[in-house]
Amino acid sequence: MKTFERIFLYTVLAILVFYVFLVDDNVESKVTIQEAIRARIITIVNDEGRDVVILWTNKDGDGLISVINKDGAPVVYMGADEDGGVVGVGNKDGIRVVGMGAYKDDGIIRVYSKQGDVSGSLP
């Protein structure tokens, strides 16, 4: 094979590979949707690599979700416990200020002070 033919052939192959892997909409390297993901902990990070959302289980095996602010403080908690569902909201420092959830056979809402003490409750 002559030098010109080799250069031409390699150029065409390179263009074909570029097209298949970077341009074609039907390429297999596109993101695929998984039917199921199974893990004990799933962590979502921001652009700096810091944890911002964590899906995990506690020691009793109940599912939990934590949302963490950019400073690393957990500000939203949601999950399950022995009574049912729970939701908590923390201030910018991660101190819980509002809690809501199932308590025995009823629901409960609590408001907390800056020190973490209960300052109001329904019922």
The pLDDT-based confidence of 63 (bands split at 50, 70, 90) is: very high
Query: CATH 3.20.20.140: does it fit domain 35-116?
Result: no
The pLDDT-based confidence of 65 (bands split at 50, 70, 90) is: very high
Q: Average pLDDT, whole number, for the chain?
A: 84
Give the full edge-to-edge strand order of the sheet including 106-112: 42-45, 51-57, 63-68, 74-81, 84-90, 96-103, 106-112, 118-122
- Cβ neighbour number for residue 90 with a 10 Å cutoff: 21
Alpha helices in the chain (DSSP H): 3-18
Q: What is the domain partition of the chain in residue ranges? A: 1-32, 35-116
DSSP bridge partners of 107? 102
CA distance 123 to 107: 8
Which tens digits make up the pLDDT trace of 17-60?
A: 666 666 555 545 556 777 888 888 999 999 899 999 999 998 88
Predicted local distance difference test score (pLDDT) of residue 23:
57
Buried-state track 30-49, b at ≥16 Cβ within 10 A, e below 16: eeeeeeeeeeeeeeeeeeee
- Mean pLDDT to the nearest integer, 76-93: 92
